[in-house]
Amino acid sequence: MRNIPLTVRFIIQPKRQNLYEEFSQQVLSLQEDPESPINYQLPSTWIRSTENKLRFLVPYNSDEYTSMVNCFDQTMKGIYTSIIRIERIQNQRWFLQYQVHRQEFNKRLAIDTERLLYHGCSQSAANLIIEDCFNRSFAGAHGTTYGIGMYFSSDASYSDNFTEVNSNGERCMFVARVLVGNTTQGNRSIKTRPVGFDSTTDGKHIFVIYHDAQAYADYLITYK
């Protein structure tokens, strides 16, 4: 497909120049190194399955489980009473899309800006996210203080504020890989990433992204 001549015409709306800039950067990246391999290696913790499963229980006595709980407890200890389960999300299509973005970020920025952040939501929203990834069409449901995008935080207790209790009295929260890239102070007027930046922030623990494949939900923690 690289050798097929294409003509692309852009009609840029006011204050949306960043769309063309992003397209141009990706095209130039391919031209500079067209043979650059993309890392399609799946995480070593993933379980091979012939079924069309996306959710896998993380064993209670595993290092993987302990690591998740220890990080969760840094800000959530005393707020919750018990962890019901931790599920690993194995959505291969979504993960490979994320890996393509990560490689482009690493090459462009010459540094890995991936962060493990939290995202709290309702159980119904979590089910949709696991199937189809984070969706910007729902942006703004819980506020737009730092931009109209998808919100993540390094503070699990903050993300807990956006969870909802289900019929069993349980809440759920994602642990997600997020490419924060170059980030800048956000505000309510921002609808797409500012030119020259990849995300917006409060300058402390909140990060807002504007591309669906810029984050991948690694785990879902269900707790009371």
Every domain of the chain and the residues it spans = 55-223
pLDDT given for residue 1 in this prediction? 47
Is the model's pLDDT at 54 over the cut of 80? yes
**Mean per-residue pLDDT for 177-194?**
94
pLDDT given for residue 134 in this prediction? 86
pLDDT given for residue 3 in this prediction? 65
**Mean per-residue pLDDT for 78-103?**
94
**Mean per-residue pLDDT for 8-30?**
65
* Segment among 1-10, 70-79, 94-103, 150-159 with least mean pLDDT: 1-10
Question: For every residue of the chain, which 3-state class applies, written as one string?
Answer: CCCCCCCCCCCCCCCCHHHHHHHHHHHHHHHHCCCCCCCCCCCCCCCCCCCCCCEEECCCCCHHHHHHHHHHHHHHCCCCCCEEEEEEECCHHHHHHHHHHHHHHHHHHCCCCEEEEEEEECHHHHHHHHHHCCCHHHCCCCCCCCCCCEEEECCHHHHHHHCCCCCCCCEEEEEEEEECCCEEECCCCCCCCCCCCCEEECCCCEEEECCHHHEEEEEEEEEC
pLDDT given for residue 212 in this prediction? 86
Please give the CATH number for the structural domain made up of 55-223.
3.90.228.10
**Mean per-residue pLDDT for 66-85?**
97
Percent of the chain with pLDDT strictly greater than 70: 82
